[in-house]
Amino acid sequence: MSALTVRLPDSVHEKIRELAQRDPISVNQFIASATAEKMASMMTLAYLQSEAAKGQRKDFDRFLKAVPDLPDVSDAGI
């Protein structure tokens, strides 16, 4: 494990302290968890973008044609 010094505005630091106490976890655990969540979000977005870039319009059209033509659920009065 490594140490990292981060400069935060006092208001942000205080809010982190308050939120960490609610769990109850340490400020370090809160920041580590929040950082991991942000990292996972960014990595997921990058993965989805790379998968979307592999898509082909002709494949999309082929799959769309295979979908039965049914009324929209909102049209069915449900």
- Which is nearest to 34 in space by CA: 9, 25, 73, 54? 25
Q: What is the pLDDT of residues 7-27, one digit of tens each?
A: 999 999 999 999 999 999 999
pTM of the model: 0.65
Instruction: Please answer whether residues 24 and 13 qualify as being in contact, where contact means their C-beta atoms are separated by less than 8 angstroms.
Output: no
pLDDT at 69: 87
Where helices occur in the chain by DSSP H, the ranges are 10-22, 27-53, 57-65
The CA-atom distances, in angstroms, between 36 and each of 33, 39, 54, 57, 65 are: 5, 5, 27, 35, 41
At a CB cut-off of 8 Å and minimum separation 6, what does 25 contact? 33
